[in-house]
Amino acid sequence: MQKIFSGVQPSGNIHIGNYLAVIKQWVALQEKSDCIFCIVDWHAITVPYEVKALQQKIKEVASIYLASGINPEKSVIFVQSQVKEHSELAWLLNTITPFGDLQRMTQFKDKSKKLQGNVNAGLFNYPVLMAGDILLYQTDLVPVGEDQKQHVELARTIAKKFNSKFGETFKVPEVSVLKIGAKIMSLTEPLKKMSKSDPEPSRIGLFDTPEQIRKKIGSATTDSDKEIKFNPKEKPGISNLLTIYSLFADKPIKDIEKEFQGKGYASFKSALADLLIKKLEPFRNKKAEFDKNPEFIEKILTDGANRARKIAQETMQKVRTVMNL
Ligand code: AQP
């Protein structure tokens, strides 16, 4: 069976971009693959974070995985920092990763700009840790959003370099990025991607209340004319909303354009808010259920870490042998 690895950072409120581009794909993949879904807390601390809230954020990501339909009996769900081999492999891979390759990473440049130069070495080395995450599990396929594609490509380069230097050790993973929905844009600045770390009301969180959803969709940036037409270059705002509608309704964009022909933005936005309120209801309900029973999530994460650690230790044994460590 093909092996899948992917993850989400517990770095804020998980939004519909994270869900539509990635988590939704996982649910279908787990039927036919061996899946490992990680909560990548070591990545989340590469930028300033709220220390006291971190464990709560980790539990929230786990609730989202479960509420989306990830089955913990089939798939492994675990927290990165509970499997120490991730940091060990990252260090070793650092020694074969060219500095220049890391300097070229778009996400590093974007995040450095956001942090106005207040950047730590962890953020710079983030893609090497991510390569370690993927390669530890002999992964075949990594489903990610558009913004993480470059990092998976670097993981491929690192795997090939390691194999040629030390002998066949790692599988070289493929990347999987959706054709539509791989980059959901900000509601307030539709030329930028929706991001957990951007201020509200730029995103819809999976636990947002119906009132918040209606308000944010109502105030989402659109364009000066009134036509509901998909044209990301000229009408980025409405095109982004059409993409979100299409992915939640499982309907082609062309059909939605027809349905709202001549109806104007207000009526389209109201229908989109209704749809999101309905589709996100299970996330709110499940979260309330899990909040009442924290031991349930803790048990799943402990079991998951034990299963993940076993695979990771096997790979590390091979790595130490070929590197003569
Ligand atoms: N706007 C997006 N549209 C589609 N996919 C997205 N992803 C992130 N933003 C969008 C994908 O979601 C997965 C998990 O993301 P992450 O937790 O690794 O963090 P990120 O890529 O840095 O995304 P954020 O939401 O912008 O988080 P912050 O603000 O914390 O940096 C990844 O596969 C990502 O591609």
For residue 194, tell me if it sits in a domain: no
CATH number of domain containing 72: 3.40.50.620
Active site residue 216: no
For residue 193, tell me if it sits in a domain: no
75 Cβ closer than 6 Å to some ligand 1 atom:
no
Residue whose CA lies nearest to ligand 1 atom number 24: 195
Which of 3, 24, 57, 196 is catalytic? The answer is: 196
For residue 196, tell me if it sits in a domain: no
Whether residue 96 contacts residue 166, with contact meaning beta carbons closer than 8 Å, is answered with no
| 143 shares a domain with 63 | yes
| 270 shares a domain with 233 | yes
Ligand 1 binding pocket mutation candidate from 9, 29, 134, 180 (most atoms within 8 A of CB): 9
| 122 shares a domain with 95 | yes
| 10 shares a domain with 38 | yes
CATH number of domain containing 269: 1.10.240.10
Span 216-229, pLDDT tens digits: 999 999 988 889 99
Span 199-211, pLDDT tens digits: 999 999 999 999 9
d(CA 118, CA 86): 25
- Domain residues for the domain of 212 are 207-289
Residue whose CA lies nearest to ligand 1 atom number 13: 18
Ligand 1 binding pocket mutation candidate from 20, 109, 129, 148 (most atoms within 8 A of CB): 148
Active site residue 114: no
d(CA 206, CA 63): 11
Q: Consecutive 10-residue runs of the chain (325 residues): their mean pLDDT?
A: 97 94 95 97 96 96 94 97 98 98 96 91 98 98 98 98 98 96 97 93 96 98 90 95 97 97 95 98 91 93 98 98 98
For residue 238, tell me if it sits in a domain: yes
Q: What is the pLDDT of residue 226?
A: 86
Q: What is the pLDDT of residue 124?
A: 98
Q: What is the pLDDT of residue 24?
A: 94
Ligand 1 binding pocket mutation candidate from 176, 195, 197 (most atoms within 8 A of CB): 195
| 238 shares a domain with 145 | no
| 114 shares a domain with 13 | yes
Give the CA count within 13 Å in the CB-facing half-sphere of 249: 18
Predicted TM-score of the model (pTM): 0.96
Tokens 């079991």 sit at which residue?
303
Question: If DSSP states are collapsed to H, E and C, what string results for the chain?
Answer: CCEEEEEECCCCCCEHHHHHHHHHHHHHHCCCCEEEEEECHHHHCCCCCCHHHHHHHHHHHHHHHHHHCCCCCCCEEEEHHHCCHHHHHHHHHHCCCCHHHHHCCHHHHHHHHHCCCCCCHHHHHHHHHHHHHHHHCCCCEEECCHHHHHHHHHHHHHHHHHHHHHCCCCCCCEEECCCCCCCCECCCCCCCECCCCCCCCCCCECCCCHHHHHHHHHCCCCCCCCCCCCECCCEHHHHHHHHHHHHHHCCCHHHHHHHCCCCHHHHHHHHHHHHHHHHHHHHHHHHHHHHHCHHHHHHHHHHHHHHHHHHHHHHHHHHHHHHCC
Q: What is the pLDDT of residue 151?
A: 98
Residues 6+ apart with CB under 8 A from 259: none
Whether residue 107 contacts residue 123, with contact meaning beta carbons closer than 8 Å, is answered with no
Q: What is the pLDDT of residue 224?
A: 82
Report how far Cα 18 is from the mean position of its chain's Cα atoms. 5
Residues 6+ apart with CB under 8 A from 10: 39, 40, 41, 44, 54, 57, 58, 60, 61
Nearest to 176 by CA among 1, 48, 6: 6
Which of 193, 235, 269, 287 is catalytic? The answer is: 193
For residue 318, tell me if it sits in a domain: yes
Q: Which residues of 20-43 are buried (b: 16+ CB within 10 A; e: fewer)?
A: bbbbbbbeebbeebbbbbbbbbbb
Q: How many structural domains is the chain composed of?
A: 2
